[in-house]
Amino acid sequence: MGTQFASRLTPRDTERVLAGVRTAWQTVSPERPRRGTPAGQALPPADRRRLGDLTVASVLQVAETHALSTDFRQSPVFIPVLDWLKGLVTNAKYNGFRGVINDYGLEDTVSPSSELMRRVEDVITTAERGERDAFRSAIKAAARGVVARVLAKPLSGRPNESAARFMGRRFATMEIKEVVDHYIRNFVFSFVETLLDRADPHSEEKLVYGSKDAVLGAAERMARRAARKAEAEGKLTDSRRVREIVFEELKQWSVSPGAETVDV
């Protein structure tokens, strides 16, 4: 696959991405100026949702002209990293995280989360087999997002407990569905955000910045829907099927933004 996906965008593509953002804003709030809307200006929930849906759809439509679907379905990294994350949870639940601690030498590590992110780089490099996955950055961001979710778990430490064992107890509170959900949402958001940033590298278009929270909301809705579908099929542990479901969601979203999604 070679270079990162965002590098495929031509100057014409970046114009199309920016035009899509402006059109999304005009659709949900036509009385606002086309440029210069203050960043963070509040929108009603329904408009905010629609803004995210339309913005993501417009970006995916541009990406599709550069083989998004074809290359994503062949990504050599998406599945191994998701399997690795699920393996951390399984080891934490059924082996007290001892396997991970021993394999990675985490017992005396001050920051086991940093070591895990270093290890995910090894997983990625091994899976790539010498040719960089075009979705490498988004996949790495997805893994980082899952680890961040673990670190945010409201759990109290125990006396004389190492940072690694404390992290293991946090991982043990995760369900596989939660891992799948957060992996997908962070992957989708990172991918779309990178293309938005490629179209506006100097942050000159305030509408782009003002759209990002809405884009995150759209990514969260897409991930919830995908995770529910995988669960309904009994395929949460089947990362290959999870990737296929994400592909299906990306395709549908680009045609019918936010179709049939519900907030939960």
Please indicate, yes or no, if residue 196 is contained in any of the structural domains: yes
Q: Are residues 105 and 165 in the same domain?
A: yes
Q: Are residues 94 and 164 in the same domain?
A: yes
pLDDT of residue 154: 87
- Which residue in 184, 195, 246, 187 sits closest to 66, CA to CA? 195
Please indicate, yes or no, if residue 221 is contained in any of the structural domains: yes
Q: Are residues 104 and 231 in the same domain?
A: no
What single string gives the DSSP state of each residue in 24-45? HHHHH-TTS-SS-PPTT----H
Question: For 147-163, how does the pLDDT look when each residue is reduced to its tens digit (9 = 90+)?
Answer: 999 999 888 888 988 99
Its domain, for residue 186, covers: 5-36+43-74+178-255
pLDDT, the chain, mean: 90
φ and ψ at residue 256, rounded to 5 degrees: -130, 85
Question: For 122-135, how does the pLDDT look when each residue is reduced to its tens digit (9 = 90+)?
Answer: 999 999 988 899 99
Tokens of 8: 């495929």
Distance CA 171, CA 153 (A): 9
Q: Are residues 14 and 140 in the same domain?
A: no
- pTM across the whole model: 0.91
Please indicate, yes or no, if residue 23 is contained in any of the structural domains: yes
